[in-house]
Amino acid sequence: MDERLRELLDMEKYERRGAYHWKKYAKEKECKDFTDKVLNHFISVEENTGQDIIEVGCGDGLWIHLIGQKG
């Protein structure tokens, strides 16, 4: 199995590394800018279509938390 795929399927990484997406979002401007850009897109799509948003495989829950904060 490809090493990158193995890492993506490794659920123990959250036990080893903790909520690393939250830390990256808080500390790295590039990560925050990218995340905010994607979130704003999804929120604008939902506002225009009235559809719900579901985050499948949400990992440590950063994205769904931020979507919830923005309403």
The reported pTM is 0.59
* Choice between 5 and 1, residue whose per-residue pLDDT is larger: 5
pLDDT exceeds 70 at position 18: no
Domain that holds residue 12: 3-70
3-class SS letters over the chain: CCHHHHHHCCCCHHHHHCCHHHHHHHHCHHHHHHHHHHHHHHHHHHHHHCCCCCCCCCCCCHHHHHHHHHC
* Choice between 21 and 15, residue whose per-residue pLDDT is larger: 21
Q: How many domains does the chain have?
A: 1
pLDDT tens digit sequence for 39-70: 888 778 766 676 777 777 777 788 888 888 87
